[in-house]
Structure 1
């Protein structure tokens, strides 16, 4: 299938594929851009067409936001049903009062439980010394994730705490520019770029605090993962409070780096026994086994009704 930027070829090939395979359900996860595949699905006669909202919009991305605003006007035209990863994301794409199901992104709960053994091993593997204060961030290097602001925050933290280290997990087109900013601030060596990781539960265990100053998020599943690992979480106040599973997330403004630095320097690293005490009950909606079963039941229900 051609990339969606080639709109007409993209829709033509999708329609051909949908007709050829005869699929009864097409579910699109590309937010406002779902207009295009679901238009093709409708033309191919697919009876169940689901638009799934995973994101919103934020300050600064003017051109992208203009396109999103235009496409949102068609968001309810082609789907027969609507899903969203949060109430906030659903209302953003489909409108307040629209009929949609919240289907939370899910994780393997046991996999993200804190392990003191994993913490010690991972910190040793990363070359962390003693009780260094480790601030962690997980996210693609894009404008949305607001890495420049995060470096501003850590610059202030580093001036107050000699033991502070910032670990950045992820990859993306803006990584090189962030590396340059780190060098300009004289923070090379104290800000570490870990790239993509396949051992995220262990990496979370190595953190002492988790930060996510995103310009916008549909929900931010990494915040749920971090909470499951027992971490104190500092999130931007543009993120929906629905992500606050533990009831202990701190939501801070993204126009004041000093507030973030104060919060980080005012908090102490969690004791291992405290982090191990995170219970399952608050995370029930994010249990992948439970959500997979619920989604399967929903598909069967929709097929019966389309019938």
Structure 2
């Protein structure tokens, strides 16, 4: 019992530190920037120009906005857009394609801080776009082809405050800060539970045993077994927790810059237990299409992984 309490306390401390001292500052800055661009109408104009280009991939104007959010704000930022799509009559097929794209893309709350570890953000962003489009298209035309394509009374207007004065700008920043704090605090429970599981596996030797079992198979596939811990952490505890593990490994010299960038394709995305749980809570219809979206996301992540390994 004493060991369990110790694990819970350490996991709780790590979860709070990751949420409040890593995730929150990045989200405050990026979310404020995005909300200011949104209030100035810059994002509206960008979405209008990009929407026709991305329509063949099964994406709508709101889908374009979700792509900007996941790449430049955080894994939870597209929740608002997915909720809007759910409520405004977007077809199930388009929602599934958008959700698959979000699952497969690089999450800003992990990618941006990992630039300090040597991550090539430009390359990550390029393959995030390619993988996201592959995920959306495969879901729209293959895995989600049986979903309803019936559009309701579609309203793709991005309703948002307008910042035309100093007070308006300050209001936008304050709202963005409150939104960032809510998201960061909301991530703590799932992070604590996931980190408890990972820490327990490590403390009781299950991770060492798993490494010993998987090492021969990984070596046959030319995969470094050192990636087992960050991969296990990522898929159980999310990208933010993985970032913390990868930071410790980089400081200890266990992971090179080359290996960090080569593994970014499958380590940096919201396609994990916490990420999926958060995103599908955006709405009832969003939750009903998660299976075809998950299949499409696997295609997109595979494309990203191959791109990072080769290039």
Fold equivalence (TM over 0.5):
no
TM-score of the aligned structures, taking structure 2 as reference length = 0.24
Q: Which of these two proteins has the greater Rg computed from alpha carbons?
A: 1
Higher relative contact order, chain-length normalized (CA < 8 Å, sep 6+): 2
Higher helix share: 2
Greater strand share, structure number: 1
